[in-house]
Structures are given as structure tokens and as C-alpha cells.
Amino acid sequence: MKIVLLSAEYPPMPGGVGDYTRNLGTALLQRGHDVTVLTGVGGDPDGQQKVQVVRLPLRRWNWRCWYVVRRALVDLKPDILHIQYQTGAYGMHPAINLLPWRLRSWTNRPRIVATAHDLLPPYLFPKAGPIRNWVTRRLLIDADAAVATNEVDAALLQGWGAGQGRHVLAAIPIGANVTVAPPPAYDRQAWRARLGITPGKTLIAYFGLISRSKGIDTLVQALTHLPDTFRLLVIGGEATAPHDRAFAGEVLKQIADARLEDRVHTTGYCDEATVSAHLLASDLAALPFVDGASFRRGSLLATLAHGVPTITTPGAAALIDKTHVLLTPAGDAAALADAIALLASDPTLRARLSAGGAALAAQFSWEEIARRHEEVYREVVERKKAPR
């Protein structure tokens, strides 16, 4: 099958949706499909890309994207156009939401699938109100199939009318956005030494872009309650949205005001092998999501897949406390500090969480995720052939 994955983010641009698209494309390619990624201007691939990448002449995903995407589709002639949707990735502009509607009049158009990585409404104009939600629904209902990354979103989409008539609705979880694949000849102790982690120090990993929903401000505050032997490694950097950049500035000021510069190291954007090495070098991970842990978080699945004992917050994800992860209340820095101290001092608990988390993450393999997407693609193609 000839498949085109459309994503506003793609490596080397930072972002979980870009990492997801790369992993899904690679898994589909390994299953024998012809896969191309369409994305915007954002830097050249790193030379290790397995999937063909076409960078469209788009710096903004405004109304012009209709013409540019259609022209690319005419050249590629895919069976499936699969839109990877996250509101912020497309600059909060509604053009991508209306793309399936715009392509419906095209006689030989591909079947369209849209994955909702979030369901945040785009910005239109002040007091747009219900129209913003209508625009979000249009993308997922006008496509031939909608994919939710969790059961909660799937239920919401079903309430909108997804899965009715000839429309297809599927709930397919995401996988770890970084595989366990450090650089060749990786040596954990040597890597820790490079990070300044000498014997007796505990390395806490935070993985992901810096944004308000991920609770890194709570983690920095928790660090002030812990001895000097605890160090924080922020694997990633600030997100690209203006409000995320502003929040990153607040976090940097928080670190400076608390005089934690020597105890917090931020890596900035890293390639996949480097991220894997950093995670394997860490003693534990802390992901104190403000909105609770969810299996739509590729960063959570990555820490679990790497066997890193992980502390996170209760949420939609079916996580068993002290079996898969250690759970603490969102926004509670003192409780988070206590959890970090407990995990650092209890090797038996660390070993249990490492094994339990890795076993849970194994259920979200990219091969299985690709297979389930194949089922969706085949269903929409078969429905195209069936008489009305």
C-alpha cells in the first residue's frame, strides 16, 4: 500500500508528534509498505532517515497548505493520506482542519485518516466559542477514518459521530518515542562521568520539551527539598510555541533564583541514540504531568521501555502504583521530593518498577501499532470500493 503521513513536525524538529510519525513510518516500511512523510520547512534530515521525507515549501500551515499538499499528492498518488494532528503543531490555524473537506471534491483523492494527538480547538478569533470546537470536529469527521490514541478520546469522538455509517473509528495507542538504542559501545559509567555524576550522586531524568502541562516547575521545586547529591537532567529543551517559550523562561528564572544551576543540566534537542543513552544513565525519572499520566505521552512510554524507575502523577493511564510507577499528586513538590528520596534509597523498589514498567511498555510495540493501522487503512480502502 502507498501511504503518505502528513505531519507539521518531523525530526530534526523537536516534538513528540514528529517522533511518533518517524516511528510509525519506519514500522509501516518494515511491513512492506511504500511510505512517504510530508512535512514543512524545518531543517534537513540527519541522514539516518529510513522513510522518504518530502519537505513542503511551507513555513506556516495557513490556507496555502491546501494547494501545496494537493500538488504533492498528485505527484505521489498515495492510497492513504494520514494526517497527524496536534493543534499547536499547525500554529493553531484551522486550514489543516478543513483539508479533508477541501479534498472531498477531488475524484481520485486518497482515502484520508486523521489521528488526534490532542483535541484542543484551534485559535480563530476572539470569542469564536463553539466555532472552534466545530472546526476540530470537521477534521476528524470529514476524514474517512479517525484514530484516537486512548479510549477517553475515542469515546469523545464517538459522541461527535465518528464511526457511524461509512466512517471508521479506531483507538490505537502510541508507542515509546525513543527506542532502546544507545550509541555503539555505550558505557553507562563513562556516560554518567561525562555528565558529572560521580559515585554517591543520584541522577533524575526529565524527558520531554519544557511546557506548563508537564510539571517541570514542580520538579525543580522538589529539587530544593533534596540534598546536593541529587542532580536533574532535563532531556530536551523548550517547545516552539510562544507560550511554551515564555514558560521555559520562567523555569530558568526559577532555577537561578533557587541557585540550582550546578544541579540542573538541560541537554537541548538530542538525537534518538543520545536520548536513549541519557535515559539508561539515569537512576530514576520524574514526569509530574499536571493533567496526569496518559498513554498518549511518548516520553512516559520511553522511560518505561528503558527500564528507568519512573515517578509520575495519576491520570488516564492504567498504572499500578509501586508496580509500574510510583505515583504522587500533581503539583505537590514536597510529595514528589519524598518519592524521589524513597526511590533513590530503595534498590528493591527500583528493580520492581524497572521490570514492571518495561513489561508494560512492551505491550505498545511499534510493530503492533503498525499492524493495527494497516487494518484501518484496508477498511477505508475496501469501503471506497463497496457500492453505496
Taking only the tens place, the pLDDT of each residue in 62-97 is 999 999 999 999 999 999 999 999 888 888 788 999
Taking only the tens place, the pLDDT of each residue in 305-347 is 999 999 999 998 889 999 999 999 999 999 999 999 999 999 9
Taking only the tens place, the pLDDT of each residue in 263-283 is 999 998 888 899 999 999 999
Which DSSP letter does residue 42 get?
S
Determine the number of helices (DSSP H) and then strands (DSSP E) in the chain: 13, 13
Q: Quote the CA–CA distance of 224 and 48 in Å, as a whole number.
A: 40
Domains, the chain: 2-175+365-385 (3.40.50.2000), 188-364 (3.40.50.2000)
Sequence-distant contacts of 154-163: CB under 8 A, at least 24 apart: 156/119, 157/116, 161/137
Helix (H, G, I), strand (E, B) or coil at 122: coil
Q: Quote the CA–CA distance of 161 and 191 in Å, as a whole number.
A: 51
Whole-number pLDDT of residue 133: 76
Q: Quote the CA–CA distance of 145 and 183 in Å, as a whole number.
A: 38
- Model pTM score: 0.77
Residue scoring higher pLDDT (135 or 200): 200
Check: CB of residue 56 under 8 Å from CB of residue 72.
Answer: yes
